[in-house]
Amino acid sequence: MIKLVFLLKIIASSDIQSVKNRLKLIENEIDSIENSLNTNFRIMEQFEKQASLINKIIQKSRNCSELSQLEAEKTRLQNDQNNLVTHGKSKEQALNEILVKIALKYTEFYAQEKHYNEVEFEVNKYRCIVDMYRVTLQSLKTTQADLQRALERK
């Protein structure tokens, strides 16, 4: 109510054309913010889809039987009393190869998780931007409605 009284005093002390100009500026600003809001919302949705896809890849990779097979082979070799392994490799060589493959798999997992976290950060950033636009838009629409009511009363 205080805001409306303030706006009425502004209108009373100024001419109607300047209030109409102010309303036009507010309408343009509302259009601009709505466009920005929609653009940022679409970007945020794209990041959310990307995060969902990455998460599915991570889950699928974690359930991958290849890593389980490598871990099982490593355990088998560690428990094996024989120092010679097939294909002319020593037990130590075979273990080292398996450990490298396991390390590469975990490196892939960590890279995927890092990428997922980066995408989630972007999603959260765009959520904040969208929220800011919504608050600004609501404020402008309230001001616009107050000015229009004040104009109608004059």
Provide the pLDDT for residue 26. Answer: 92
Count of other CB atoms within 10 angstroms of residue 126 = 19
Rounded to whole angstroms, how far apart are CA atoms 92 and 98?
A: 10
**Lowest-pLDDT range, 5-14, 79-88, 109-118?**
5-14
- Rounded to two decimals, the pTM is 0.66
Would you say the C-alpha torsion 36, 121, 105, 68 has a positive or negative sign? negative
Provide the pLDDT for residue 4. Answer: 54
Diameter of the chain by CA atoms? 100
pLDDT digits (tens, 9 = 90+) for 21-72: 899 999 999 999 999 999 999 999 999 999 998 888 877 777 677 778 888 8
Average pLDDT rounded to a whole number, residues 121-145: 93
Provide the pLDDT for residue 90. Answer: 77
Does the structure show a pLDDT above 80 at 153? no
Does the structure show a pLDDT above 80 at 2? no
Asked if 127 contacts 2 with a C-beta cutoff of 8 angstroms, the reply is: no
Provide the b/e sequence for 5-25 (b: ≥16 CB within 10 Å): eebbeebeeeeeeebeebeee
So where are the chain's domains?
Answer: 2-153
Asked if 60 contacts 135 with a C-beta cutoff of 8 angstroms, the reply is: no
What would be the CATH architecture of the domain defined by 2-153? Orthogonal Bundle (1.10)
Alpha helix (H) residue ranges in 63-90? 65-79
Provide the pLDDT for residue 68. Answer: 80
Provide the pLDDT for residue 137. Answer: 94
